[in-house]
Amino acid sequence: MSQSLEEHMATIERALGERMVMHALVIVRSWLNELGENNPYEQAFGQIQTQYETLFSQWLTSDDPEREEQLERLTGDTYRLVDASYAALRLKRGLSPDMHGFNRDNLQSVMQYFSFCLNIREEDYDWMREVMNDSDHAAIALMAVAALAKNIRDCFDEKAMMVLIEGINCENEVVAEQCLANLLILMAHYDVRIDFFPDLQNAFIAAINEMEDEGEQAFHTLCALVRSVKSNWRENIASGELKIEDLPEELQSLLELTGNKDDIQGVVSWIPASEQEYMMGLIEILPDTWIYSALIGDSTERASHMAIIYLSIGRMDLLWNHTDVAAKWLVNQLREGSQSPLDYINYAHCLLLQGDRMMAYEYYKQARQLCKGSKEFFALFRPDRNDLVEHGIPLEQVYLIEDNLLKN
């Protein structure tokens, strides 16, 4: 069975993430064949293929120090060809509508256009820049920003990303915050790809620096995005238990701007039900992304703060590199009466890594007693074996702990 277009794109993303240009070009070649002989991308394809073959020939005969830089640029050019031909093929197959304009005074029309149009005109981007700085059109600007971010997620667009970056410092604070939050999500989503778009990286950092708060606002927005995965407000709205003041701030702002405070369900329907699952996937990879490194930098304070945020949503991803921070947070959890065996296990991990084997074993025993049986306990404990070993605990000691906990 042949791959879908989305599967092709996923394969290309993996290939170009490793700078395997020819792997990507094989798929692009099939796309161009489908687009026909007169497609506008043949010349770019031929140039990239020729440059790559030349680069490979040079590598066979010499060690050119500039080869790595040339391969980086060539990979970026390949990404651009992929994006353009991917959009064209979606239009040809009818997977995306062929749109040529929108009603600038209608929220629904604005949302549809910026969500689905794959050939947004420069004049439309200019209009978007205007409304982002016009307080009288804040609601429409907010909708346009959210819609454009959705569009970029489906079909990466360098120019559209740059428009959102410009919006970080627009006059309307609510719109600026929306631009910032969406950019953080998009840059995490396209982490490997962003490495090959230095202009976007430089523009984003410049926009953050323009805030004159050393990226503090951007960092706290990142923290808020991580915390958001624990929210179950969608379900609470459906049951009628949630009030407007309980909604995330960005939704409260949208309600105020649109004047639809009584139509909570209408606003919620604007956000897909799968969004929380998508965000959880991003949160998992976030510590390894460029955007995370850019906002955390060398700040031990920010790294510790983010570790606590991860712990607060039940994720121990950063526990292993911030044992002291994790231990303090877990102690507070246990003092407040936590009955979660996972909290006891994780605190025992911290103690074990700090060299206190006796106390670690006592907390492992308490976790074991909170579980219904050994099977439940080891289902929580054993996934951490590799992490314990990688952080200096001999595997024989891990087995020794497990063996003695079996009888408790």
pLDDT at 270: 44
- Please give the Cα distance from 404 to 400 (Å, whole number): 6
CB 292 within 8 A of CB 310: no
Q: CA quadruple 144, 146, 152, 158: dihedral positive or negative? A: positive
The predicted structure's pLDDT at residue 257: 46
Look at residue 261 in the predicted model and tell me its pLDDT: 47
Phi, psi of 373 (to 5 degrees): -170, 175
SS (H, E, C) 122-171: HHHHHHHHHHHCCHHHHHHHHHHHHHHHHHHHHCCCHHHHHHHHHHCCCC
Other Cβ atoms closer than 10 A to 188: 22
Q: Provide CB contacts within 8 A for 193, sequence distance 6+.
A: 13, 16, 17, 79, 156
Q: What is the pLDDT, as a whole number, of residue 267?
A: 43
Neighbours of 364 (CB within 10 A): 25
pLDDT in tens, the chain (408 residues): 356 899 999 999 999 999 999 999 999 999 999 999 889 999 999 999 999 999 999 888 887 778 889 999 999 999 999 999 999 999 999 999 999 999 998 888 999 999 999 999 999 999 999 999 988 888 899 889 999 999 999 999 999 999 999 999 998 888 999 999 999 999 999 999 999 999 999 999 999 999 878 889 999 999 988 887 766 555 555 555 555 555 555 455 544 544 444 544 444 444 555 677 788 889 888 988 999 999 998 898 898 888 888 877 777 666 777 788 888 888 888 988 888 898 899 999 999 999 999 999 999 999 999 998 888 999 989 989 998 999 999 999 999 999 998 865
For residue 269, what pLDDT is reported? 44
Are 346 and 330 a contacting pair, CB within 8 Å? yes
Distances in Å between the Cα of 51 and the Cα atoms of 14, 28, 76, 319 are 21, 16, 13, 45
- Enter the DSSP assignment of 338: -
> What type of residue sits at position 247?
L
Angle (CA) 319 323 328, round 5°: 100
The pLDDT value given to residue 268: 44
Q: How far is CA 190 from CA 198, 269, 278, 374, 407, in A?
A: 13, 26, 13, 41, 48
So what's the pLDDT on residue 281?
Answer: 86
Q: How far apart are CA 377 and CA 50, in angstroms?
A: 58
What pLDDT is stored for residue 342 in this prediction? 87
Residue 165 is which amino acid? I
Of 108, 95, 116, 106, the C-alpha closest to 269 is: 108
Q: Tally the C-alpha atoms within 13 A of residue 155's C-alpha that lie toward its C-beta.
A: 26
Q: What was the pLDDT predicted at 266?
A: 46
DSSP-based helix, strand, coil % in the chain, nearest 5: 75, 0, 25
As a whole number of angstroms, the distance between CA 265 and CA 235 comes to 11
- Pull the structure tokens for residue 394: 């001999």
- What is the C-alpha separation between 215 and 183, in angstroms, rounded? 14
Which token pair is 48?
A: 């990239």
Ramachandran quadrant class, 134 (left: phi over 0; alpha: psi -120 to 50; beta: rest): beta
Give phi and psi for 347, each to the nearest 5: -65, -40
Taking a C-beta distance cutoff of 8 angstroms, is the pair 160, 152 a contact? yes
- Rounded to 10 deg, the angle between the 341-353 and 374-381 helix axes is 50
End-to-end CA distance of the chain: 52
pLDDT at 246: 56
